Structure 1
Amino acid sequence: MKDIDRRLFMKLAGVAGGALLVRPDFALAGDIDTVSIAWMTDPVTWDPNQRLAPDPQTVLKMLFDQPLNQTADLELVPNVVTQWKLADDARSLHVVLRDDVTFSDGTPLTAEDFRFTFFERLQRGDEIDLIVGFGVVSDIEVVSPVEAVMRFKDPFPTAPQWLGFSASYIVSKAYAEKVGVEGMQTAPMGSGPYVLKEYRRDSRIVFVRRDDYWGDLPSVRQITFEIIPDPTARLAALESGTVDIALELSIRDVKRLQQGTAFNAIANPIARIIYVTVRADGAFADHNVRLAAHKAIDKATLSRAFFGGDAVTIDVPTIPGMPGNPQDFAFAYDPEGAVELLATSGHGPDKPVKLGFATTNGQFPGDYDLARAIVTMWRKVGIEASLTVITEAQWYELNATGKLPDASLFVWENGTGDPELFAGHMFNQDLPFSTYRTEEVTARVQLLFSEPDYETRIRGYEDLNAYLVEEGAIIPLLQAIQTIGFRKGLNFKPWSNGLVLPGAITPA
């Protein structure tokens, strides 16, 4: 992934406020009747504000619009919101909306819908993940049908990023009040470029393009998502012609497709990290065990074995080129050091520490095999891990109920390019994503959440990231790679946030 320069991240952090920018321009070279995509998981809900999980966002963005969009390299650009200005103290954000946006039922989208989405839904107690980012909103003043001012209880320096991040889709106030919470979850209606034509749970999703869409029309008239959890089956669907695009294939299969003549394939480094979560209790209550588990993992070997060496190894919970990455910090692979740490705590190959370890299988390329390799590396130094397979949805459920195993292999998406959405949300125990939960870590994170000065905040995250690794609170492994195979006759432009956008699919 190319490094994103500091000026871009200054924009993303909102220190210069928002400017009127040009919307991303998707050139249309003619229409495509239909495109079928082999996809990993079904959305657990059609309420676009309900879940922050990364994979459903591609599906939801077919139906719903966000206030802000991103370019392929994560720069914030206008969408429904054309102008935005963050106050110097980060306690308010002034936004101006387009005046020509309509929902698919023909009704106009106005500042009242903006207020309903980002304030009223939270006030009335809707159980939506949107509260994670926007729970700090104290009010939204509607100045006119196309103008509003968001006001915050505490400084909210990343408010602009959140307006272009997961779950931040504008919903129709009138429609939500008409169908209720259950209707939002089962019968979606938004202002996006497509409408839902057919839906079979855990099987198929069919979208048809809105030719009255207010924005640039995508090339594809109909997009079908075939839900295929197994990566081998996704590859088979592509090679048989059942689908036109397949996501999250093995890197080995991508290399093979690249050498053939029938398909194109991409290995796209994205703004996600692969890491091992750690709990602060159970087997990992011992600091020596936590550090030993990290020292025992040969990340370079994992990259070579499962990603052809293309996956960049990481030592802190962020990726190269993003702010918050402390310079000259490294955590070395040191299996002998791991053995020494375990011996200090009375463990070793003949008396292993035992722990639970969960992984997904097919959620991202090589996840299950990666987890098995880690189990083998741990066994060599004196850690015996019992591996279980779970889904992404189960990970969230188990974590929310305190039943997640001692460790889990997981992938974390941060399409904003700001460290708050990496370490900040991973380690604030008041949020639903934290696995390593301590008062000390949470206190450090919460100070950074309300720091309005960009430079101070970024230095704080650099210090926090180094501390988290030295504390053994996380085991960062690799920058995630999104693998995409697609048939000849299509052009596909990958995005650094990992989304598959309809406007990115064009005729070859």
Structure 2
Amino acid sequence: RSDLTLEIPFEEYDRLKKKGFGGTNEPITDIGMIFLTNVEPMLDERVRQALVLSINKKALTDRLLRGAARPIDTLEAPGYEAYDPSIKVPYDPKKAAALMKEAGWSKDKPLKFRVQTTRGFKPKDYEVMQAIVGMWRTIGVDADLEVYEVAKHFELRAQHKLAPAAFYNWGDAIGDPSTSTGFAMFGPSPHSAWKTKDVDALIGPLWGEKDEAKRIAGYKKVDRYIAEHALVIPLFQYYQTVAFRKGLAFTPHGAGFVLPQAVKKA
């Protein structure tokens, strides 16, 4: 038996709350995202743009994740130092289909490529990717969904051998852009999948930038460039579900940590 547990399925969280258990459901610094690798067919910007535009993030967060996440459009979530709410990527399936047609693909002549995901590493990770593959199918993409363990993801990413698209949960406990956009998108980083000189030229100087305002502004510029060229697919910022027994009080942590001093008698 447990006094407190976290990362429980959303349906179970709702059920336990109705039974009188205590609970919190608050945003944390983890984000769900899809790495794009700079290999075919992702070298065609029209394809990348179409993949991004065809994903209904609100439907994913409202229906599959039952409100325990919120859509994002960059690798900076609300609360991160370089979060810029003005950077928006719309849901536009009609434009997505038009871009795919322009690139030479359609439902009658679908584009085929492999997509990788974990299953059970984060709540509903596999189901989210199933839904996204279904959304892509409507614009002329026949994606083959492969399931692997997160350890395999790390191994492949370090070797730059991920599939053209791969789901991942990125955690940035300190909310600094160097540990989100920086490590995830800088070519020499072993944590990046998209490795190109244009992005490296934007991020490179920021590693040594001593002026904090310029550094943050620089990362916002990088995030806008990445969004405009669809070089990664940010999906949503996770919420963390925590359930605890009657008689306890719990204060959630922004990075998802469960600290001893955060658990007290009610």
Q: Are 1:339 and 2:97 matched, yes or no?
A: yes
1:277 matched residue in structure 2? 35
Q: 1:437 aligns with which of 178, 190, 195?
A: 195
Higher relative contact order (CA 8 A, sep 6+): 2
1:325 pairs with one of 64, 67, 83:
83
| Counterpart mapping for 1:310-321 below 5 A | 310-321=68-79
Identity of aligned residues (%): 35
Corresponding residue for 2:15? 256
Is the Cα–Cα contact under 8 Å of residues 240 and 256 in structure 2 kept in the other structure? Answer: yes
Looking at structure 1, the residues matched to 23 and 106 of structure 2 have their Cα atoms a distance apart, in angstroms, of 44
Quote the Cα distance in structure 2 between the aligned partners of 1:340 and 1:478. 25
Deviation of 1:474 after TM superposition, in Å, equals 0.8
Q: Does 1:297 align with 2:55?
A: yes
Would you say the 8 A contact 2:87–2:227 is kept in 1?
no
Cα distance in structure 2, aligned partners of 1:348 and 1:399: 30
The separation in 1 between residues aligned to 2:55 and 2:264, in whole angstroms, is: 41
Aligned equivalent of 1:19? none
Q: Which amino acid aligns with 1:294?
A: V
Q: Would you say the 8 A contact 1:365–1:483 is kept in 2?
A: no
The structure richer in helix per residue is 2
> Is it true that 1:493 corresponds to 2:251 in the alignment?
yes
Does 2:138 match 1:380?
Answer: yes
Q: Which runs of 4+ in 1 moved over 4 A?
A: none
Instruction: Note the residue ranges of structure 2 that are not aligned, 5 or more in a row.
Output: none
Match of 1:366 in 2: 124
| CA offset digits 1:1-25 (Å, max 9, x no partner) | xxxxxxxxxxxxxxxxxxxxxxxxx
| Structure 1 residue 315, shift from structure 2 partner | 1.0
Secondary structure of residue in 2 paired with 1:387: strand
**Residue 458 of structure 1, CA deviation:** 1.1
Q: 1:327: Cα distance to partner?
A: 4.3
Aligned pair 1:468/2:238, yes or no? no
Distance, in Å, in 1 between the alignment partners of 2:185 and 2:230 is 12
| TM superposition score normalised by structure 2 | 0.94
Question: In structure 2, the residue corresponding to 1:317 is in which secondary structure?
Answer: coil
Match in the other structure for 2:23: 265
Q: CA RMSD in A?
A: 1.5
- Aligned residue type for 1:344: E
Which has the greater radius of gyration? 1
Residue 245 of structure 1 deviates from its aligned partner by: 2.9
Task: Answer yes or no: is the 8 Å Cα contact 1:251–1:267 preserved in 2.
Answer: no
* 1:411 and 2:200 aligned: no
The answer to whether residue 154 in structure 2 is matched with residue 396 in structure 1 is: yes
Aligned position for 2:238: 480
Determine the C-alpha separation between the residues in 2 that align with 1:265 and 1:352: 45
TM-score normalised to structure 1 length: 0.51
Q: Deviations over 1:357-378 (max 9, x none)?
A: 1111122221111111101001
* Pairs aligned (count): 266
Distance in 1, Cα, partners of 2:246 & 2:17: 11
Pick from 426, 439, 446 the counterpart of residue 184 of structure 2.
426
